[in-house]
């Protein structure tokens, strides 16, 4: 049980559509598989790291512990409710982040089942941020990480994480925010890092 700090603060903040697409792919193809591998090995850091990233991505897309119930309510209860009940239900929906219901319903059922516990989780972890570098260090110096004998997979993980560390030093939003939430997994999982690398470069260039 390590301690975690994240730069994401607002639940239900608006997220660009492209960022929601990136978040869905990350959840379905990378973070949930990492989570399942961690669970199959009895938990530990791998599960905690994936759980944290899942938790943060769900939160930034407006998902709360009530989101699954609201999604079901919006699908089913309208067919059986009276006019007064429908009005009350619509008011309840309007009072909560609407994006959360839409994002939740866009996930495949098996993914929703895997991530549902993390709607109420409060995972905390500590991750290395730029190797203790000075904030004034030039980006080109921070990204010069190749060492003799360093494996390509290790370079991809470290290089991607260093780029995302640079994004995390600024006010993050959209794609950058999704990547910052995922960097604790990126530092330790090659497949996730390789997928995120072009997105991280694009976010850095666009900043």
pLDDT computed for residue 205 by the predictor: 84
Angle value at C-alpha 103, between 99 and 105, nearest 5 degrees: 120
Instruction: Spell out the per-residue pLDDT of the chain, length 207, in tens.
Output: 333 334 343 444 444 457 899 999 999 999 999 999 988 888 788 888 999 999 999 999 999 999 998 888 766 555 555 666 556 655 555 455 456 888 999 999 999 999 999 998 777 655 444 444 444 456 556 666 667 778 889 999 999 998 998 886 555 568 899 999 999 999 999 999 999 999 999 888 876
Work out the number of other CB atoms within 10 angstroms of the CB of residue 73.
17
Backbone angles phi and psi of 169, in degrees to 5: -80, -5
d(CA 111, CA 116): 8
Nearest Cα neighbor of 180 from 96, 59, 85 is 59
Alpha-carbon radius of gyration of the chain: 19
d(CA 53, CA 50): 5
Q: Would you state the structure tokens that stand for residue 42, as one six-digit string? A: 């009895």
């Amino acid at each position: 049980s390590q301690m975690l700090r994240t730069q994401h603060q607002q639940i239900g903040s608006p997220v660009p559509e492209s960022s929601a697409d990136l978040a869905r792919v990350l959840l379905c193809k990378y973070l949930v598989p990492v989570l399942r591998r961690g669970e199959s090995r009895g938990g530990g850091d791998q599960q905690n790291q994936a759980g944290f990233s899942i938790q943060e991505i769900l939160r930034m897309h407006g998902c709360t512990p009530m989101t699954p119930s609201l999604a079901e309510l919006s699908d089913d209860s309208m067919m059986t409710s009276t006019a007064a009940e429908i009005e009350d239900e619509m008011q309840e929906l309007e009072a909560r982040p609407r994006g959360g219901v839409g994002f939740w319903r866009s996930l495949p059922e098996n993914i929703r089942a895997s991530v549902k516990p993390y709607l109420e989780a409060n995972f905390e972890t500590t991750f290395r941020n730029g190797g203790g570098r000075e904030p004034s260090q030039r980006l080109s110096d921070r990204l010069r990480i190749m060492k003799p004998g360093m494996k390509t997979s290790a370079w991809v993980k470290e290089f991607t994480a260093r780029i995302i560390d640079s994004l995390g030093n600024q006010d993050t939003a959209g794609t950058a925010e999704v990547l910052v939430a995922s960097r604790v997994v990126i530092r330790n999982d090659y497949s996730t890092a390789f997928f995120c690398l072009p997105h991280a470069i694009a976010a850095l260039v666009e900043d």
